[in-house]
Amino acid sequence: MKMIQTKKVRHLANYRNGRGIDFFQSQKNNCRIWCDSNLELMAYRYLDFKADVLSYKAQPVQYIYEGLNGAETGYTLDTEVIEHDESIKKLEIKPKVFADDPNERARFQHFRKVLLQSKKQLVEYLTDEEVCKGFTQQNLVRLCHLRKLPLNKEQARNLSDCVGENTTWGFMQETARKLNITPRMTKLMLAHQKYRFDYAELLTNETELVMGA
């Protein structure tokens, strides 16, 4: 089945009509991304902190193809993700309840099949079930706010040398106090992903940290 790929130019009609939500400042892409919904905002925040994601593009292309009813239709993907192993993923950002709807599932499976057959590309859902799991958004909102502040590289290096590649949040804070490093600077280690943790979990003294960037 034939599919035509067109370059997507994203206009801000939604912004002007008041239907959009906000811009998200992406550190990985070094740009602002317009979000048409709260879920998109949370999804881009999630991708910005996801360890295996190198970069991503919002609404990269539009595809023209034959729909289930036989008529020509267009579909614009929400995002294209490039991972550190250079693999590329096409993602649709949708609520889980929407993705589970039978009519939506049929339409999406048809588009997915056409895209795979014609372009050899696979598209998947990214839902609120993943991006809002546990404490993910609460943790990432705080870290996004903090990473606007600069990180003292010398203090970060000294702290990393003392705690090693694997540590806990409690031990890092205790070590920072001994090195006369402020609590805020210690939090910046997480905000700038010098150390990562399971963002779905509540951050406590027992939370395990792994060296990141």
DSSP 182: -
pLDDT digits (tens, 9 = 90+) for 108-135: 889 888 888 888 888 999 999 999 999 9
- What is the C-alpha to C-alpha distance for residues 211 and 213, in angstroms, rounded to an integer? 7
- Spatial contact of 36 and 21, defined as CB atoms under 8 Å apart: yes
φ, ψ for residue 92 (rounded to 5)? -110, 125
Q: Give the contacts of 99 (CB within 8 A, at least 6 positions apart).
A: 105, 108, 125, 127
- What is the C-alpha to C-alpha distance for residues 132 and 135, in angstroms, rounded to an integer? 7
Question: In whole angstroms, how large is the CA radius of gyration of the chain?
Answer: 20
pLDDT digits (tens, 9 = 90+) for 42-99: 999 999 999 999 999 998 888 898 888 888 888 888 999 999 998 999 999 999 998 8
State pTM to two decimals.
0.86
Pick the CATH number of 3-131 from 3.20.20.10, 2.60.40.10, 3.40.50.10210, 3.40.1350.10: 3.40.1350.10
